[in-house]
Amino acid sequence: MVTVLDAGGRPLSHRDVIAEQRSHAFPFGNIGFDLVDLADEALADAESDPAASGSAGVARARLVRLAGQFLEVFNTATLPFYWSDFEPAPGSPDTARLRRAARWFAERGCRVKGHPLVWHTLAPDWLREAPIGEIEATVRARVRREVGDFAGLVRTWDTINEAVIMPVFRNEPHRNAITRLAWERGRIATVRLAFEEARAADPAATLVLNDFDMSTAYECLIEGVLEAGVRIDAIGLQSHMHQGYWGEERTLAVLERFSRYGLPLHLTETTLVSGHVMPPEIEDLNDYRIPSWPSTPEGEERQADEIVRHYRTLLAYPSVQAITYWGLSDEGAWLGAPAGLVRADGTPKPAYDALRDLVKGEWWLPPTRLRTDGAGRVEVRGFLGDYRLYDDGDGGAALLTITAPGRAETTLRLKGER
Amino acid sequence: MVTVLDAGGRPLSHRDVIAEQRSHAFPFGNIGFDLVDLADEALADAESDPAASGSAGVARARLVRLAGQFLEVFNTATLPFYWSDFEPAPGSPDTARLRRAARWFAERGCRVKGHPLVWHTLAPDWLREAPIGEIEATVRARVRREVGDFAGLVRTWDTINEAVIMPVFRNEPHRNAITRLAWERGRIATVRLAFEEARAADPAATLVLNDFDMSTAYECLIEGVLEAGVRIDAIGLQSHMHQGYWGEERTLAVLERFSRYGLPLHLTETTLVSGHVMPPEIEDLNDYRIPSWPSTPEGEERQADEIVRHYRTLLAYPSVQAITYWGLSDEGAWLGAPAGLVRADGTPKPAYDALRDLVKGEWWLPPTRLRTDGAGRVEVRGFLGDYRLYDDGDGGAALLTITAPGRAETTLRLKGER
C-alpha cells in the first residue's frame, strides 16, 4: 500500500496514477558467453579493417540482435571464467576483457554471475604436473584474484562446480590438477578452500555450491560441507535436460530433497532441447557426439510447453531463488544441442516467446492505471522488483521497490517529469 | 625368527621342532544367525518334549553339522541385532539369548561381531510415530545398552548401516523412525550419535560404518563424517554380488577409492551365488522375488572359482582387514538366493571346499618340521596368527603369536607336554 505525495509533499488524493514494472528482483538468468565479444568491441575494431568488415559486420549484427533478445527476457548474465581459457598461460588472466563484458551487462540493468571458479574440467594444462601444495596455492590465488578483481561487478559465483565427481573424474587421459587436489585433500577440503578465498575476497558476494549430480551423493556432500562449518549461500542445481524434461513430479522431488537444508536453491544450468532427446543410456552427456542435432517443429512446440511448465514449477517453489537457462542461441550451443531459445538463424523459437510471455507478461505489471483514495493511498500488487509510479498528468514520478512478499506500507513523493 | 629354549632355559640346538598354526589373526567371518538357536539350547529343550523331539532332533543335527562346517573355516561370527526382532516390544531386548550365542562362539575360538546397531530397515514399529526428540533418545539408549551389555563379547559393531540411503529410503509404505531421524537431523548427525554412544559404552570396540552403496555417494558421506570429527575405526563395504561377481578390476577400483581415507576396510557382507545371477536392471536387490532360485552344478563351479579369486584379491590388498561372507547355508538365505557355501541339504558346495583350502590350506601352516641351529634358532614363516611350537620328542611346547608382518625376533621356552 503506497501513500502518494505530490512534489509539494501533500497527499495526491483521488487521482489516477500509473504503475509500471521496471525490473524483476527474481534473477531470470542466461549465459552471456556469446555477448562477451560484442561487449568487448573486438568486432567493432575488426569492422575498421576493410578486409574483415563484411563477415564481421554480419557477425556483429547477429550479436546485436541476440543482445536485444537477451535483455528483453533476462536480467542476469552468467559470464565464463573457465580457468584454462581465462588464463591460458600463468599470469595472463583475461580480466580486462571480462570486466568490460561485466560492465556492459551492468549498464544495461543486468546482474552478472561468474561461472565457475573451481572446476576439474577446463583446468589449466600448465598446472597439471605441479606438486599438490603448489596446486592448492595456485587455486587459492586464482579464486582470490578473480573474486577480488570483479568485486561489485560479479555478485554471484559458482564457487566450485561438480565437486561430487571431482576427485574421481576419469573422462580424460591424464588427471587434471583440480581432480588431483580433490583426490588428495578430499572434496570438503577443496570446497572449503574455494569458499574461504572467495568469501575473503568479496564478503558481499553470493557463493554457490554447484553440481549436476542430483543423486543422494550430492546430499551427502552438502551435509558434509555444512557439518564442516563451510558457509555456502546457495545450493546450485544444474538441470541439463538433454535426455528429456524431468516433469513436475521429479522436479518437485528434487526440490524437496535439496530444500531441506534451509538454503536458497539456484537452478543454475537449465536446458530443454527442441529436437530429439538424448538416449537415456548416455551417462556423461559429453559422450554424446552426433554430426547434427536439428531443431524440429514438434521439438520446438514441446520445448515451449516444457519451459513454461518448468518455470512455473520452479517459481512457485519458495526455496528457488534463481533460474539460469543455459544458452540463448542454438549457434555454438553446448554439445551442438538445439537447446537454445533462438534458432541458429537468429529467429526466436516458440520457447523464447513463451518464456518472454511469462517473465514480461503474466509475471509482469504493465503500465496500469490505479486511483488513489482521499488520503492519497493506492495498492500496487506485483512480483518483487522495481516499479515506476507516475501521475497521469504532469505531477511527476517516483520509483517503488517491492522488496519482500506480503503487504507493506510505504510513502512516495513524486517529482520531476512523468 | 624364534630362539627356542628348553624347559630348563637352555637353547634347544640342532633339534627338530614342529610348528603348526592354531588360528588366523585375519578375521574370516560369516554370519552366525542360524546357530543362535543351537547356542541357546532352545532346541535341546524342545528335544525333551516328546511331541517335538523328532523334527527338533533332525533340525538340531543339521545345526550341529553346520556349526562344524562354520568353525572349520571361519573364526568370526556376525550375530543379528536387528532392532525390530531384538526388541519386539519396548524394554524387552533379546539380550540373554544373544549373550549365550556370543559366549558359545567365543568358547569355540570365534570372535563375535554385532550387526547392526542403527539401520532403517527392521527399525521397530513401536517407534514409528514418536516425536523426533524421543526417537533420538531411544536410538541413543538402544546403542548404549547393546554395546554396554555385550562389551568384551562383541568386539566389532556395524555401528550404523546404510546411512547413505537412510534419509531418502522409500521402500516402505510409512517412513520408519530411523529414516525420519536421518531426514530431520541429517546423515552425519545420525552417524555421530551412533558412534558417540557406542564409543562411550565400549571404548575398546571396533566401530564400523557400513554401506552397500559403493558409489561416490559413500565417499561423500565418509568425507563428511571424517571432516565432522567422528572417529570411525573401519569402513564397511558390503559386496552382495547377486548380480554377478565384480571381477578383479572393479574390486580393485573400489578398494582403491575407499582405501584413500587411511582406514581399514572391512568387506562386511560378501555373497556370490551358485545359480543364475540376478538381472542387472534390479536396483534394490530386495525387489527381486522369485519362487525358486536353484543352485546349479555350473553355478557351483563358477561360485567356487569366483570366491577364490575374490578372497585372493582382498587378502592381497593391505587395507582389507576383515572379510565376512554372508551366509553359510542356502537354507534360509537372504532373498532365497543360492548364496550359501553349503547346500540346503547340508552338503558342502565346491566353494566351501575351495575357501577351506585357502584358509586352512594355502594360507595355513600345517604341522611342519623345522630344525633349530646351534643357538636354538629357527625361522617360522606364516600368516599372522597363533602357532604352536613343540619339540618332536618330549621337550614340551609353547605358543607363538605372529602379530605383525615382516621379520621379528622372539624367544620361546618350551614346557609341559607336546
Comparing B38 with A88, which gets the higher pLDDT?
A88
Residue from B162, B213, B227 to probe the interface with A (highest A Cβ count within 10 Å)? B227
State the pLDDT at residue B45: 56
The second-level CATH assignment, the architecture, of A25-362 is Alpha-Beta Barrel (3.20)
State the pLDDT at residue A101: 94
What φ, ψ does residue B67 adopt, rounded to 5°?
Answer: -60, -40
The distance of A253 to chain B (nearest Cα, Å) reads 11
pTM of the model: 0.90
Domains A2-20+366-413 and A25-362 equal at CATH topology level: no
- Residues of chain A with C-beta less than 8 angstroms from the C-beta of B180: none
Domain boundaries, chain B: 2-20+366-413, 25-362
Kindly tell me the sign of the dihedral angle through the C-alpha atoms of A19, A25, A28, A34. positive
Cβ contact (<8 Å) for A187 and B223? Answer: yes
State the pLDDT at residue B53: 55
Residue count of chain A: 418
- Residues of chain A with C-beta less than 8 angstroms from the C-beta of B188: 223-224, 227
pLDDT-based confidence at residue A54 (cuts at 50, 70, 90): low
| pLDDT digit string, tens, across residues B262-307 | 999 999 999 999 999 999 999 889 899 999 999 999 999 999 999 9
- Residues of chain B with C-beta less than 8 angstroms from the C-beta of A165: 216
State the pLDDT at residue B43: 41
State the pLDDT at residue B57: 79
For B:207-226, CB contacts with A below 8 A are 213, 215-221, 223-226
Cβ contact (<8 Å) for A188 and B221? Answer: no
- Residues of chain A with C-beta less than 8 angstroms from the C-beta of B226: 186
For A:253-282, CB contacts with B below 8 A are 257, 260
Torsional class of B236: left (φ above 0), alpha (ψ -120 to 50), beta (otherwise): beta
Distance CA A206, CA B409 (A): 63
Give the nearest chain A residue to B253 (CA atoms).
A168
State the pLDDT at residue A52: 52
State the pLDDT at residue A49: 56
pLDDT-based confidence at residue B76 (cuts at 50, 70, 90): very high
One-letter amino acid of A299: G
- Residues of chain B with C-beta less than 8 angstroms from the C-beta of A183: 260
Which letter does DSSP use for residue B334 in this model? G
Mean pLDDT in residue range B114-139: 96
> With 90 as the cut, is the pLDDT of residue B332 above it?
no
Distance CA A32, CA A80 (A): 8
| pLDDT digit string, tens, across residues B212-236 | 999 999 999 999 999 999 999 999 9
State the pLDDT at residue A43: 41
CB B373 within 8 Å of CB B13: yes
| pLDDT digit string, tens, across residues B5-22 | 988 889 999 999 999 999
> With 60 as the cut, is the pLDDT of residue B129 above it?
yes
State the pLDDT at residue B173: 81
Mean pLDDT in residue range A23-29: 97
State the pLDDT at residue A392: 83
* B188 Cβ under 8 Å from any chain A Cβ: yes
Which of B130, B360, B260 is closest to A183 using CA atoms?
Answer: B260
Which of B94, B207, B194 is closest to B144 using CA atoms?
Answer: B194
CB A18 within 8 Å of CB A389: yes
Does ipTM top 0.90? no
* Beta carbons within 10 angstroms of residue A274's beta carbon: 28
| pLDDT digit string, tens, across residues A368-401 | 999 999 999 999 999 999 999 998 888 899 999 9
Cβ contact (<8 Å) for A216 and B216? Answer: no
Give the nearest chain B residue to A257 (CA atoms).
B168
pLDDT-based confidence at residue B418 (cuts at 50, 70, 90): low
Name the CA dihedral angle for A55, A57, A59, A60, rounded to a multiple of 10 degrees.
160
Cβ contact (<8 Å) for B227 and A223? Answer: no
- Residues of chain A with C-beta less than 8 angstroms from the C-beta of B221: 220, 223-224
* B175 Cβ under 8 Å from any chain A Cβ: no
* Beta carbons within 10 angstroms of residue B412's beta carbon: 21
Lowest mean pLDDT, pick from A169-178, A223-232, B69-78, B238-247: A169-178
- Residues of chain A with C-beta less than 8 angstroms from the C-beta of B257: 168
Give percent above pLDDT 90 in chain A. 85
Cβ contact (<8 Å) for A220 and B224? Answer: yes
Cβ contact (<8 Å) for A224 and B219? Answer: no
Q: Return mean pLDDT, chain B.
A: 93
Give the nearest chain B residue to A254 (CA atoms).
B168
The second-level CATH assignment, the architecture, of B2-20+366-413 is Sandwich (2.60)
